[in-house]
Amino acid sequence: MAKKVSESVTVMTELVLPNHTNQLGKLLGGQLMHWIDICAAMAAGRHNQRVCITASVDSLDFHHPISLGDPVTLIASVNRVFNTSMEIGVKVFSENYLEGKRLHTNSAYLTFVCVDKEGKPIKAIEAIPESEDEKRRFIEALHRRETRLKNRNKQY
């Protein structure tokens, strides 16, 4: 069985409140990581129609700070499915209503594993990329996976 990448797209919007910020009124990185993980988990679960669990987070790049009162929109989708695992990409945008600006503030890549009711890994549903952007992300996901596996096998 296979599903289109577009079927996994998950959009989540949060409002940055005082309990989400540091002393400078900027969104805490840990809070953003929490939202990213939830949005990615929903995209993985939507694609597989099962619970999927976080296996790793490759990177989380911070391009611009996000301020108190800003709406934050997260957009997640499956980039590529391997066997039991899949890469989920998440883009984060902040908005400033007063200035009429929308900024791409963060990007993240997460690996999720599809599991059964006992928490054991099971085969994930294949992802079919259709758009040029989905095809590009599909190809790039393989390169990131190769890097992950190479780094995982390094001895320290």
Q: Tell me the domain boundaries of the chain.
A: 2-152
pLDDT tens profile 118-153: 999 999 999 999 999 999 999 999 999 998 888 877
**Average pLDDT of the residues in 34-48:** 98
Q: How many CB atoms lie within 10 A of CB 6?
A: 14
pTM for this one? 0.93
Q: Scanning the structure block, which residue is given the tokens 């976080």? A: 54
Structure tokens at 114: 């599809």
Q: Dump pLDDT digits (tens) for 86-105.
A: 999 999 999 998 888 999 99
Q: Say which CATH class 2-152 falls into.
A: alpha beta
* Dist. CA 4–CA 75, nearest whole Å: 16
